């Protein structure tokens, strides 16, 4: 069973799952959701990746309003930097924006 799409755009890693127990020296049994019942729950260690949560990249859910379409509107707070760049004979503006639900490190 494949997760998601096939080919070049397929996802390499699916989600973080809890490790239930170690099976042998190089395999682990994972706690998979009910939708993945067709997938065997024991995986070789080379197929797993350590998931380390970064508290700076998490956004508190209380500050977001999620619509029924599972989308949200992010509001710009401040323009941090503005540059005009030249590419051959074209000029374009590059603006760095601080968004409402993100920290300074999350500006785009």
**CB 49 within 8 Å of CB 62:** no
pLDDT tens column, 38-97? 888 898 988 888 877 766 666 565 665 666 676 667 788 888 889 998 888 899 888 888
Same domain, 73 and 102: yes
DSSP secondary structure code for residue 66 in this structure: -
The answer to the question of residue 54 being in a domain is no
Query: Distance between CA 72 and CA 15 in Å, rounded?
Result: 22
Quick: pLDDT tens for 1-26: 455 556 665 556 667 788 899 999 99
* 31 within a domain of the structure (yes/no): yes
Contact 29, 21 (CB under 8 A): yes
Residue 89 included in any domain: yes
Indicate the pTM of the whole model: 0.43
Domain of residue 75, residue span: 65-106
Are 43 and 69 part of one and the same domain?
no
Does a structural domain hold residue 2? no
Number of folded domains that form the chain? 2
Asked if residue 72 belongs to a domain, the reply is yes
102 shares a domain with 69 = yes
Q: Evaluate whether residue 25 is within a structural domain.
A: yes
Residue 97 lies in a domain: yes
Mention every residue, 6+ apart, whose C-beta is less than 8 A from residue 97.
76, 77, 78, 79, 80, 107, 108
What is the Cα–Cα distance from 33 to 36, expressed in whole angstroms?
6
Whether 70 maps to a domain, the answer reads yes
């Amino acid at each position: 069973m494949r997760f998601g799409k096939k080919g070049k755009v397929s996802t390499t890693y699916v989600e973080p799952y809890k490790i239930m127990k170690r099976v042998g020296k190089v395999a682990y049994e994972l706690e998979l959701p009910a939708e993945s019942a067709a997938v065997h729950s024991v995986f070789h260690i080379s197929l797993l990746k350590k998931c380390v949560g970064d508290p700076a990249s998490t956004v508190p859910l209380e500050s977001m309003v999620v619509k029924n379409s599972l989308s949200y509107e992010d509001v710009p707070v401040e323009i941090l930097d503005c540059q005009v760049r030249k590419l051959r004979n074209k000029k374009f503006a590059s603006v760095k924006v601080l968004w409402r639900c993100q920290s300074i490190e999350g500006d785009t």
